[in-house]
């Protein structure tokens, strides 16, 4: 989970892949689990937490998956 204000510090770095947009609601990360199940190598998950900033939507268990 990163703040939207975080920016890449590596000049000219690029990230490429098929984008899987995911929208989650507070306390419900089921869509992230589905996205991880459906993602293929090289896919990029873009997760929106609907502007919730007081809790994480992605933690250690999901990172392990």
- Both structure tokens of 17: 């892949």
Q: Is the pLDDT of residue 65 over 90?
A: no
What residues are paired with 25 via a beta bridge?
A: 28
Assess if residue 23 is contained within a domain: yes
Assess if residue 27 is contained within a domain: yes
Assess if residue 2 is contained within a domain: no
pTM: 0.71
pLDDT tens digits for 6-46? 777 888 888 889 999 999 988 888 999 999 999 999 999 98
Q: How far apart are the first and last CA of the chain?
A: 15
pLDDT of residue 3: 66
Task: Note down the domain range covering 49.
Answer: 19-64
> What are the backbone dihedrals phi and psi of residue 55, each rounded to the nearest 5 degrees, phi first?
-155, 155
Assess if residue 5 is contained within a domain: no
CB 21 within 8 A of CB 46: yes
In 3D, which of 44, 27, 39 has the Cα closest to residue 65?
Answer: 39
């Amino acid at each position: 989970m990163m703040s939207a204000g975080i920016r890449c510090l590596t000049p000219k770095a690029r990230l490429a892949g098929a984008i899987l947009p995911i929208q989650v609601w507070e306390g419900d990360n089921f869509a992230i689990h589905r996205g991880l199940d459906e993602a293929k190598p090289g896919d990029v998950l873009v997760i929106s937490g609907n502007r919730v900033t007081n809790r994480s939507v992605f933690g250690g268990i999901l990172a392990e998956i």
